[in-house]
Chain A
Amino acid sequence: EPEVTQTPSHQVTQMGQEVILRCVPISNHLYFYWYRQILGQKVEFLVSFYNNEISEKSEIFDDQFSVERPDGSNFTLKIRSTKLEDSAMYFCASTLSVRETQYFGPGTRLLVL
């Protein structure tokens, strides 16, 4: 069964460093998302992406964040200058059509020291 994959599974970085989280969505899916879950809190929407552009973003998704689909298979989330409060699980999701079920990857645990 097709699934969303994410790399790395864990990432530890120093505050102020740049990180890139990678996702490979399900191959025929067209809509892509990033969510995050800070420990003990709910899963929060960050950004949605369709047709090579951002369709919607949350207040969390400020200028330090960017997304890209560089090669037609990968979908990346970049945090330019990480802060302590960026420590969280980051989940990628994809769907074939808008308002269809979103399928999630296993997540990347980011720890900013």
Chain B
Amino acid sequence: DQQVKQNSPSLSVQEGRISILNCDYTNSMFDYFLWYKKYPAEGPTFLISISSIKDKNEDGRFTVFLNKSAKHLSLHIVPSQPGDSAVYFCAAVNYNTDKLIFGTGTRLQVFP
């Protein structure tokens, strides 16, 4: 079941630069999307979400973009900080349910 895909398993970015994490989905019934950050041995921590009626949502250093026609979303972190180093998961929700369908995650490393 590959309804939500994160094709880049890892990303390395210099501190202060922009980090762009990508996520693709196949199910057109998804109407709500979330990004979570996860440190080792901890649970996922919510970062930001977007409804399918929007194409952008911003919260501080984090911005999520949604391109429904391409079934693609991205998370921009700017400026990146070393504390952002973690695994980032995108998750999607079908319109008639509330279970989260997760991607496989992208490990972000921000180096000085």
Contact, CB under 8 Å: A56 / B105: no
Chain B interface mostly:
strand
Asked whether A99 and B32 contact (CB < 8 A) given A44-B102, A45-B101, the answer is: yes
| A-contact bits for B77-112, CB 8 A (1 contact / 0 none) | 000000000000101010001111111110000000
Most buried by A among B32, B49, B99: B99
Q: Give chain A interface residues in 1-50, CB to chain B under 8 Å.
A: 4, 6, 31, 33, 35, 41-45, 48
B105 contact set on A, CB distance < 8 A: 42
| Total number of A residues with any Cβ neighbor in B under 8 Å | 27
Contact, CB under 8 Å: B98 / A104: no
Asked whether A102 and B43 contact (CB < 8 A) given A42-B105, A43-B89, the answer is: no
User: How many angstroms between the C-alpha atoms of A4 and B89 in the bound complex?
Assistant: 19
Contact, CB under 8 Å: B97 / A91: no
Q: Give chain B interface residues in 10-35, CB to chain A under 8 Å.
A: 32, 34
Q: Is B59 an interface residue (CB 8 A)?
A: no
Q: Report 27 cross-chain contacts, Cβ distance below 8 Å, ordered by A residue.
A: A6-B43, A31-B98, A42-B103, A42-B104, A42-B105, A43-B89, A43-B91, A43-B100, A44-B102, A45-B100, A45-B101, A56-B98, A91-B44, A93-B43, A98-B98, A99-B32, A101-B34, A101-B46, A101-B49, A102-B46, A102-B100, A104-B43, A104-B46, A106-B42, A106-B43, A107-B42, A107-B43
- Nearest first, the 4 closest Cβ-Cβ pairs linking A and B are A104-B43, A45-B99, A43-B102, A104-B44
